[in-house]
Amino acid sequence: MLDRAVFRFSIDALVIILGAPSVRGLALPDAAEPSPSRASLNGLDGINFFNAAILAGFGPYVAVYLAEQKWTQENIGFVLAASGLAGLLALIPGGELLDRARSKRALAALGASMVAVGAFAIGIWPSFPVVFTALVVHGTTGASLGQRSLPSVSA
Higher-confidence residue of 90 and 41: namely 90
What are 91-136's pLDDT values in tens digits?
A: 888 878 877 878 777 887 888 888 889 999 999 999 999 999 999 9
What is the percent of the chain with per-residue pLDDT over 90, rounded to a whole number? Answer: 27
With a threshold of 0.85, does the pTM exceed it?
no
**Residue ranges per domain, the chain?**
43-154
Amino acid letter for position 49: F
Specify the range with the lowest mean pLDDT, choosing from 26-35, 42-51, 131-140.
26-35
Higher-confidence residue of 47 and 86: namely 86
| pLDDT tops 60 at residue 23 | no
Higher-confidence residue of 52 and 82: namely 82
Q: What is the 3-state secondary structure (H, E, C) of the chain?
A: CHHHHHHHHHHHHHHHHHCCCCCCCCCCCCCCCCCCCHHHHHHHHHHHHHHHHHHHHHHHHHHHHHHHCCCCHHHHHHHHHHHHHHHHHCHHHHHHHHHHCCCHHHHHHHHHHHHHHHHHHHHHCCCHHHHHHHHHHHHHHHHHCCCCCHHHHHC
| pLDDT tops 70 at residue 31 | no
Mean pLDDT to the nearest integer, 126-149: 82
pLDDT given at position 122: 93
Higher-confidence residue of 40 and 77: namely 77
